[in-house]
Structure 1
Amino acid sequence: MADQTGEATAGAVARLRATAHPLRLRILSLLTAEAMSAADVARALGVTHANASYHLRVLHDIGELVVESEEKIRGGVAKRYRYDATRDLPAQGAEVGDRIAYARATAVEVERRLLDVAPGHSSSSDLEAWVPVEAWHRAVQLLHEASHVLHAAARPAGTPDTVHVSATSTAFTMTGGLTGGAVRWTPSEEHR
C-alpha cells in the first residue's frame, strides 16, 4: 500500500510540474472543448507546430491528455488530443516549490486573459481567514462543482450562442489550525 501511495504522489507531482507552464495551461483549456491535432493547436494559439507538438507530448506523457482519434495526413498520422477535465490535479504530496510554480504559471495565464476582458459581469475573490470546517467543506464543494459545470459545458471556440469565459480558483488549508484528516474534504459522488 505504501508503494501505491508513493506512486500516486509521484504521479501527482509529475502532473503538477508538467502543467506549471502558461502555454500548457492554455492547451488544456483549449482541449477541454474539443479534440485537436498539433497543427490545430498551433493555429489556435499562434505558436509553431513543433512547439505545439512538444507541449502536447509532455501533457500526454504524464496522462493529462488522451488521444481521441488518429487520421492519416500526407503519409503521416495526426493524433487528435483531448483533455479529460473530469480528473482533478491532486496536489497532495507535491512540494511547496512545485505548487508555487503552478500558481505562478496560472497567474501568468490569468494576466493574459485579463488583457482580453470584456465589459460585463465578473466575480473575483481573495481571502485568508479562519473558518469552521463545515464552511470550508461547503466552499470547496461549491468550487469543485462550478469547475465541473464549466468544463462539461465547454464548446469549441467561436461556437454560436456561447460566451468566452475565464475561471480560476485555488483553495487550500494553511498551517496554524486544524489539518490532515480533521479537515480533509472529498467530492460528492456525482462530482468525482
Structure 2
Amino acid sequence: MTEVDPVLRALAHPLRLRMLSLMWPEPMSAAELARELDVSHALASQHLRRLDAAGLVELAEERMRRGGRERRYRTVHGSPLSDHGALLAETLTHTLRERAARRAPGAEAVTVDAELWVEPRVWQDFLTRLGALTAELHDAARPPHSSGTAPVGVSVMAFALEETAPARTDDEDLR
C-alpha cells in the first residue's frame, strides 16, 4: 500500500486551507482560529497540529496568557499548494462552494472557466503574471477584521492539460 504524502493529507481538508489563509498575514493561536472559524478550540487545535506536522505552519511566538502559554502559528510562506492534483481540486471545490455562498450581493468579481489551446510562451507568461498577482494579494493581506479591510475570496487553479487526441497539423486547420 502506498503512503499518502503528509502535506497532501494536510491540504485535503477545507478547514485547514482556511486556517492557512487566516494565518498568512499574522500568527494566530488555536483559540483565535476557533473563534474566527466558529469551531471548537479542540477541533482547531487538532487541525493546527496536522498542519504543523506537515510543515505548513511554524511556531511564531509563545506568550503567557491567563496563566497559561499561548502558542501562535503562522503559515510557512511558499507552502506547496500546487502539484497535488485531484485531491486538492476536491478540497478547493468545497472551499469555493462555501465562499460563493458568502459572496457579497452585487460585489464586483471575476469568474473564469476555460479550456484553451495556447502557445507555450503565452502559457508561461500567464503563469508568471498570475503567480505575481497572487503573491501581491497575499503580501497585502491583513489579519481578519482589521480596520479598513474587507474579506475577499480567491481560488485559483491553472494547469496544463494532457492532450487527449493527436496534435493537428496546419493542413488540418485549413480544412
| TM, length-normalised to structure 1 | 0.77
Give distance in 1, aligned partners of 2:91 and 2:160: 21
Task: Say whether residues 1:134 and 2:126 are aligned partners.
Answer: no
- Residue 151 of structure 2: aligned partner: 164
Give distance in 1, aligned partners of 2:140 and 2:76: 13
- Residue 97 of structure 2: aligned partner: 111
- Residue 5 of structure 1: aligned partner: none
* Pairs within 5 Å for 1:63-82: 63-82=55-74
1:143 corresponds, among 124, 130, 147, to: 130
- Residue 173 of structure 2: aligned partner: none
Give distance in 1, aligned partners of 2:125 and 2:35: 41
The alignment partner of 2:58 has SS state of strand
2:11/2:81 contact within 8 Å kept: no
Give distance in 2, aligned partners of 1:38 and 1:162: 23
Residues 127-158 of structure 1: per-residue CA shift (max 9 Å, x gap): 11221001110111111111101111110112
Counterpart residue identity of residue 105, structure 1: T
1:37/1:81 contact within 8 Å kept: yes
Higher share in helix:
1
| TM, length-normalised to structure 2 | 0.84
The alignment partner of 1:82 has SS state of strand
1:86/1:148 contact within 8 Å kept: no
Give distance in 2, aligned partners of 1:116 and 1:149: 23
1:65/1:82 contact within 8 Å kept: yes
Runs of at least 5 residues in structure 1 that lack an aligned partner in the other structure? 1-9, 178-192
- Residue 170 of structure 2: aligned partner: none
Task: Say whether residues 1:46 and 2:33 are aligned partners.
Answer: no
- Residue 101 of structure 1: aligned partner: 87
Residues 16-66 of structure 1: per-residue CA shift (max 9 Å, x gap): 221111110111111112211111111111111110001001001111101
| Percent sequence identity over aligned pairs | 36
Counterpart residue identity of residue 77, structure 1: R
Residue 85 (structure 1) shift: 3.1
Counterpart residue identity of residue 36, structure 1: M
Give distance in 1, aligned partners of 2:135 and 2:8: 19
2:29/2:71 contact within 8 Å kept: yes
The alignment partner of 2:39 has SS state of coil
Give distance in 1, aligned partners of 2:20 and 2:136: 16
Counterpart residue identity of residue 17, structure 1: R
Give distance in 1, aligned partners of 2:82 and 2:14: 18
Counterpart residue identity of residue 70, structure 2: A
Structure 1 runs of 4+ off > 4 angstroms?
none
Please say which structure displays the higher CA radius of gyration. 2
Give distance in 2, aligned partners of 1:123 and 1:25: 21
Runs of at least 5 residues in structure 2 that lack an aligned partner in the other structure? 165-175
More moved, 166-175 vs 50-59: 166-175
